[in-house]
Structure 1
Amino acid sequence: MTDMQGLRVMGIDPGLTRCGLSVVQAGHGRAVLPVAVGVVRTPHEIPLQERLLRLSVAVEEWMDDYSPEVVAIERVFERGNVSTVMNTAHAVGVLMLSAARRGIPVHQYTPSEAKKALTGNGRADKKQMTSMVTRILGLSEPPRPADAADALALAVCHCWRAPFIARTEHLAELSGRQNTRDLRSGQQ
């Protein structure tokens, strides 16, 4: 099993009005240590481009301050309101670009993937998720608002999935090498 101890993960619950940010560090086994959590807010009355700039500046400050090795972000999905989805998609693009500028890999998780990873139930409600995040991280009180708890959940989800992802990528790399050798030997 690949050991991810020490892996620093930034979890992001994307949003234009409220964006949850967190940083955790993988410990031994399934232990995860909280480093930081917060929410970036942008006022809805200012122009979209200014809101996106404020979001970008804030997340880049977090990346510079906490030096995450990977970002775990919620995958945008249809919520019924097209303008909300579009605003969230704009925010996700800015957040992913901020990570890309620093060479930080990004992994996306659906809400149900994070819920299943933390509670075993892909349909867990906000209260269950917040309770599990509080317990897993050994927090003295639940993180508030929900965007902060969701950002922590995404980071924990990645910490727990990272060993599997690393093994899968390693096997794919080995398979690619073997295929390349097979092609070379077939050409001779």
Structure 2
Amino acid sequence: MFVKARGHAAASSGVSPVWTFPTWRRKLTFSSRNPLLLRLFSLKEWSYIVGCNPEGIVAKESVKSQEFRVPFRDVDMHGEMFRSSYVVRAEEAVTEFWRRRKPQKDDPFFRIGKITCTFHSALKLGDVVQTHIGVSKIGGKSAGFLVHMLRGNEAVAEAEIVWMACDPESKEPVALPEDLRDWLYQFLD
């Protein structure tokens, strides 16, 4: 999946369009004149991109990262953040992600089907953490969200949360509506 970057210095100066390929840790970019030249963007420029082609069809959707500071209530006697707090912060990031979309009358009820969390390094009291979120998978009756937690440029944890679509009254699994699936595809990693 390649995307012509908008607003990038090289693209706006008329020198050469820049194409991007999103990865889970950082965005790799290369010039269309020299596709082997790779440059790493900083994590501040993180964005999720819908599929495009090098002919210039572009549809880009940025997901703003959230930032939080590890509070005293979330640390143990050794000064490290409780493991359950990582899941809470990941759920908060998914909730903020959903605020981007206005509720529709045909939206299903969602329940959590699965939560997994991979820990890379411990967070300490007062650490500033950025969370980046994207859609990891879109199934027939579920959607998965991947939340990356970073301290500076260091990966701290990754949480995957899978939401199951259910009927609001019977709570039985139902298929995701097409308009919701289309909206989620904008953020697919």
User: Shorter-normalised TM-score: what interval?
Assistant: under 0.3
The structure showing larger relative contact order (alpha-carbon pairs under 8 Å, at least 6 residues apart) is 1
From the two aligned structures, give the one with the greater helix fraction: 1
The alignment's TM-score, normalised by the length of structure 1, stands at 0.27
Q: What's the TM-score, normalizing by structure 2?
A: 0.27
